[in-house]
Structure 1
């Protein structure tokens, strides 16, 4: 009976995780296809797309890493680029529900598969009740969308003309859609305004390290905003007859 119950729960978590990841998969799979096509057009064997997407699994970093590998960049430059681009994941870990995932192996994979898309889906109010297994399977499906798309794009890359432009814009387009979805779920005009201000300030102050500095400024701004909102006095509830008025 317990085995049957556990099987039903597993099937339920799988189906719900698949539904949760469906909207993200519509963007992640074509983005992976674009990456796979770029890999083949760059002169590498098709299986490199599967290796990059399966083992590195870093989205925008993979597009940058492809250019660095082809240019023969030093290992130090590759490491610095990877650290700068993926530094945002440090802040993701502050609110990602990793504590719900049970088991060392499951937690290790969940940490590895903490992508922008997985964080965007689990950051919504509805995801606060997701069990750990549902969160884990959500990450597995998103990983499969990306790696499967990259492999498919690499295998079909020869059919895509080499002169096609704009494939590398797929990452930016997906991030823009995720940002719009997050804003619709939690309308807070101050947050995108703060992000824009931090990006402009970093661009003017440190053009060579814009991304890293912008994330630091944005994180500091969010912490300051949270401190102000937390310490703001709450309006007192009315008592007596005034509390019953409509």
Structure 2
């Protein structure tokens, strides 16, 4: 059987995969499954809160289908429930989703050769979880010729699970009173911890994460979630300042 051997084994086990489209797709789907566990309660909660905020079932499902950005969807639903104007909703969710521009820039060398239809599809599905799966895969070495299908596997798996959880939450959330008090939103925190911590392998990365975390807590009361943007900028700056001397020393 033809196998992809152009990447190094992971630290835990030797990774081999078929280089076929289906093989790469299934590998991407498999590697995404552990992160879905943390997204399930998050999706259920969004479905319930969407309906509770006054959205219809179809409007709630439509937001997950067209937006597909968990944190931004929660913020939008909260602002809708509070009666905020459309301008405030758009601006606030834009600030929250600016991190996806960083994700895209990071993966640009991997997808720049793909046709436009592929780049649009993968950009739409570039969630935090999918980005984490792709980084871990790239840590093992370059993608094979059908590597785009690995990326597609992560996107389709995460997208499908998010839609299903939204539907279940919207349908049955009203039968579970005070669902928003169950603490299910902690699943988002746990999910992000699971995504970020394994990627912190060097001192500049740890310092950047710590600086961003401190600023995020300190600036959490800023309007329109501007604290998130400020924390991102500080984390990037710290990481670059500390990483540059390390690169120069290595050279």
Look up the SS of the partner of 1:52 in the other structure: helix
Query: Paired residue for 2:155?
Result: 139
Distance 1:82 1:203 in 2: 19
Query: Paired residue for 1:22?
Result: 33
Query: Paired residue for 1:223?
Result: 240
Query: Paired residue for 2:140?
Result: 126
Among 99, 102, 112, the residue aligned to 2:111: 99
Residues 34 and 170, structure 1, Cα contact 8 Å, conserved in 2: no
Query: Paired residue for 2:42?
Result: 31
TM-score by structure 2 length?
0.79
Q: How does 1:179-194 map to 2 (within 5 A)?
A: 179-183=196-200, 187-194=201-208
Query: Paired residue for 2:82?
Result: 71
Query: Paired residue for 2:228?
Result: 211
Query: Paired residue for 2:167?
Result: 151
Distance 2:154 2:179 in 1: 35
Residues 101 and 107, structure 1, Cα contact 8 Å, conserved in 2: no
5+ long unaligned stretches in structure 1: 1-7, 235-246
Distance 1:127 1:57 in 2: 29
CA-to-aligned-CA distance 1:119-154 (integer Å, 9 cap, x gap)? 111112136436112112211211111122111211
How much has 1:35 moved relative to structure 2? 1.1
Look up the SS of the partner of 2:166 in the other structure: helix
5+ long unaligned stretches in structure 2: 1-18
Residues 53 and 147, structure 1, Cα contact 8 Å, conserved in 2: yes
CA-to-aligned-CA distance 1:50-104 (integer Å, 9 cap, x gap)? 1111111111111110011122212221122112111111211222255167322
Distance 2:185 2:95 in 1: 19
Distance 1:171 1:202 in 2: 16
* Structure 1 stretches of at least 4 aligned residues deviating more than 6 Å after TM superposition: none
Q: Which has the larger radius of gyration?
A: 1
Query: Paired residue for 1:173?
Result: 190
Distance 1:107 1:163 in 2: 37
The total of aligned residue pairs comes to 224
